[in-house]
Amino acid sequence: MKIVKKNEQGFTLIELLIVIVLIGILSGVLLAVIQPGAQRARAQEAVAKANLDKIRMAMLACISARQNPLNSCISFEGIGANDPSGEPTPSATYVITRSNQVGFPNSIYTQVCLSGGRSYTNCTGCAMRYIFDVDTGDFHVNQGKISKNCLIDF
């Protein structure tokens, strides 16, 4: 049997518990500040926005070069661009089509829905859209940009 001398010092159970609690609090604060999920989502939205900007530029080139853009610039083949669907997330869906909305007659829009689906209104994740008015040759309100459920500014 070992005899403990009175002058030996060690940590008490209370001191060890306090250190463990402090480490837990600090790691919780650190994870809250870093938020890896939110940073990943922002990065994915930035990639989707960059893809959508490239599609918009190809769409503008097609519209300015064609005599009947409402019929010839409403597909990826028509504008001469590759469909980036599946990037940056496997469920990301890009669409180019003619607008059938009353507020945007004679318009072509391109959009992305990161959670999948071809409908902007039914998209549950981040959705971004450019709307181009063929008659006026300009983008609709806010440079044609509209978005919903996104973490980044569009």
Domain positions in the chain: 40-148
* 121 contact partners, CB below 8 Å, separation of at least 6: none
pTM: 0.74
Which amino acid is present at 148?
K
- Supply the pLDDT for residue 50: 93
- Collapse the DSSP code of 113 into the 3-class scheme (helix H, G, I; strand E, B; otherwise coil) and give the result: strand
- Which residue's structure tokens are 């070069």? 65
In this prediction, residue 3 has a pLDDT band, given cuts at 50, 70 and 90, of low
Write the pLDDT tens digit of every residue in 58-110. Answer: 988 998 898 888 889 999 999 999 999 998 989 999 999 888 777 778 889 88
In this prediction, residue 27 has a pLDDT band, given cuts at 50, 70 and 90, of very high
Q: What is the mean pLDDT of the chain?
A: 86
The half-sphere exposure of 23 on its side-chain side, counting CA atoms within 13 A, is 6
Phi, psi (rounded to 5 degrees) for 67:
-85, -30
